[in-house]
Amino acid sequence: MAVGDNLKSQVPVEVLSPDTRLVKHHGEVEMRIEINNHYDNWLLPETGVSYENVIEVTFWSDAKNSGSKEVYHLAKGKGTIRFSSSNKGEPSGVRTAWAVEFRNKEIAKPSTPWYPVFGNPEK
C-alpha cells in the first residue's frame, strides 16, 4: 500500500434493540482503511516531540458514515503515537490520545518486521 491507497471489506452486523437487547435487524457495513500521509519527521502537536518515519492512517468502521472515523499516527518502532476518534454515538466516542513517554524494555526481536508500506525498507 502507498499514500492514497485504501482497503475495503464487507462485514456482517446485527443491530440490537436498546430496550430488549434482541436483534432488530441484520445487515452489512463496509469497513475502510486508508493511508493518508507519510512523514519523514512529524511533530506531535500536543507535546512538541518530533518522530521519524510516521504514517497517518484513517479507519472507518462504516465507510458510509464519513464523520465516524479514527485517525492513527504510527511511528516506526514505536507504534501508535497519536490516536483521534470522532465516533459520535459509538462506544469509542470522541477523543484524542497521544504518547507521552516510551520505556526501553528487553524484549525479543519481533518475528514480523516493520512492513515497508512505501516500498522503501531503508526508511
Give tens-digit pLDDT for 13-39.
777 777 777 777 677 888 889 999 999
Q: Which strands, in side-by-side order, build the sheet including 70-75?
A: 6-16, 23-43, 50-60, 70-75, 79-87, 93-98
Distance between CA atoms of 39 and 21, rounded to whole angstroms? 45
**Which residue range forms the structural domain that includes residue 79?**
6-98
- pTM of the shown model: 0.68
* Residue 4 Cα to chain centre, angstroms: 15
Considering its fold, how many domains does the chain have in total? 1
The C-alpha R_g of the chain, in whole angstroms, comes to 18
Angstrom distances, CA of residue 23 to CA of 11, 41, 59, 64: 16, 47, 26, 22
Average pLDDT score over residue span 88-103: 76
Is residue 58 included in any domain, yes or no? yes
AA identity, residue 2: A
| 73-88 pLDDT tens trace | 999 988 889 999 887 7
Predicted confidence at residue 112, as pLDDT, reads 58
Is residue 25 included in any domain, yes or no? yes
Q: What is the full DSSP assignment across 61-100?
A: SSTT-TTS-EEEEEETTTEEEEEEEEETTSTTEEEEEE--
Is residue 118 included in any domain, yes or no? no
Is residue 107 included in any domain, yes or no? no
* Mean model confidence pLDDT for the chain: 80
Predicted confidence at residue 123, as pLDDT, reads 43
